[in-house]
Amino acid sequence: MKRFILLAGICILSGLQANAQGWLEKMGKKVKEKTVENVEERIEQNTENAIDKELDKAEKAVKQSDDRDNSDSSDTNEGKASNGAKQTKLEGTSQYDFVPGNKILYFEDFSQDAIGDFPAQWTSNGSGEVKTVNIAPGRWLHLNGEDAVYCYMKEIEFPDNFIIEFDLIPDNQFDYGIELTLYQEDKSDPKELNDNLYPGIGGIQIVPKKDGWETKGYHTDKDWLTGNASRNPVIQEELNHVIVWIQKRRVRIYHQGAKVLDAPTNIYPETKFDRLRFSGWDRHSSPYVSNLKITTAASDTRSKLITEGKLVTYGITFDVNKADIKPESYGTLKSITDVLKENPDIKIKIEGHTDSDGDAAANLELSKLRADAVKKQLSTGFGIETARMQTAGAGENIPISPNDTPANKATNRRVEITKL
């Protein structure tokens, strides 16, 4: 673009000099030199202005492109199919070694809460409201209270082995502006709103920070069990997808394609989680959270597929309204691959399913494209023969649950693998 503008400037200069030649010859030498100097200065200034203008346009176009890329990173809405099953190469994903189970324990995307309201299933000692943001789809809880806590009001029956995921958008003042706490409620003093620094009789605190990660296991009258890491910290004013795998006492955190923390004894063994909350202790920061999902972990892929004949998985996830497989799907795809390679005579059918949001025909097409994408990834990425795999899409036509709550909709968004 710069080369084009400079050439245009030269052409303009040449034209102006040609047109001015006749009358410049009639003028004195000083006038002629001054006039040429003025013309050259004007052209130079116009050229610089044009270049600046085009650079501004280019920068704006790049920013808009980045925003569009960020807006496709969620997996909570259906309704508009991609034009094709473009396959994203799963590079650098061997660190995603977790396998989500076949049960969703909790899901929240604030889709049933009105913009500007506080979410109905939560409570707080400060302020907060549901909003939309310009860099990602869906609705978000803005944690804009000073020194506030945000508690989910119902108990959750956490197993020993589970995965919790959430999306986080830190603002430009973010330092340590959010803290996720899973804890065991003190049954002698139950509280919907627990604003104690260390709530309940024991728990684990997970703190994403601008410069890394921190975890702190605690229990009544005991020392902290801490973990720290500096790899892949969250990025301000961008969508960050945080994954935490808790396996009894062990805590693993994943972010941006890598395992960033692995603390084998980060939780006291007697702790049994049944509550969760977010806290905002950084008075200068007001981050956004959404798409909170809790699933069981380590589904027995072999038993489900070989013995029962069907595997229902929530571990293969896609960009919103697309058939691009997310990197965190690696563990599930590998577990399916292992079973197929150990049993080379088995053939399977891969079937995609959606919730009922959006257009039914588009959902049907999208579910087919996603099934095709899984087949392609198992073939090109993991070496499974295509002749062993069939694909189908059911769209929204075979729901597991009514499409009446965010959690039920999340249950319906799935991939099923059936032994033929």
Segments of 98-239 assigned E as strands: 100-108, 122-124, 129-131, 140-142, 148-152, 161-169, 179-184, 202-209, 212-219, 225-229
Q: Classify domain 301-419 by CATH number.
A: 3.30.1330.60
Domain ranges for the chain, please list them.
Answer: 2-71, 100-297, 301-419
pLDDT at 376: 95
Written as six digits, the tokens of 83 are 């034009």
Q: Is residue 197 helix, strand or coil?
A: coil
CA atoms within 13 A on the CB side of 213: 24
Task: Report CA dihedral (69, 73, 77, 81) to the nearest 10 degrees.
Answer: 50
CA separation for the pair 303, 312 (Å, rounded): 12
Of 121, 115, 174, 177, whose CA–CA distance to 148 is shortest?
A: 177
Count CB-CB contacts under 10 A for residue 37.
Answer: 10
The rounded radius of gyration (Å) of the Cα atoms in the chain is 28
Written as six digits, the tokens of 253 are 């955190």
Written as six digits, the tokens of 147 are 């020194």
Question: Angle at the Cα of 178 (from 175 to 182), degrees rounded to 5?
Answer: 145
Q: Is residue 356 helix, strand or coil?
A: coil
The one-letter amino acid at 4: F
pLDDT tens for the chain, 420 residues long, are 444 443 444 444 344 344 444 433 443 444 444 444 444 444 444 444 444 444 344 444 434 444 444 433 334 444 444 444 445 554 444 467 777 777 899 999 999 999 999 999 999 998 899 999 999 999 999 998 888 999 999 999 999 999 999 999 999 999 887 999 999 999 999 999 999 999 999 999 999 999 999 999 999 989 999 999 999 999 999 999 999 999 999 999 999 878 999 999 999 999 999 999 999 877 788 999 999 999 998 667 877 888 889 999 998 999 888 999 988 888 899 999 999 999 999 999 999 999 999 999 999 999 999 999 999 999 999 999 999 999 999 999 999 999 999 999 999 999 999 999
- Residue 57 DSSP label: H
CATH code 3.30.260.10 for 100-297 = no
pLDDT at 256: 85
- Residue 318 DSSP label: B
pLDDT at 299: 64
Diameter over CA atoms, the chain: 104
pLDDT at 306: 86
- Residue 176 DSSP label: S
Give me the residue label for tokens 């801490």: 226
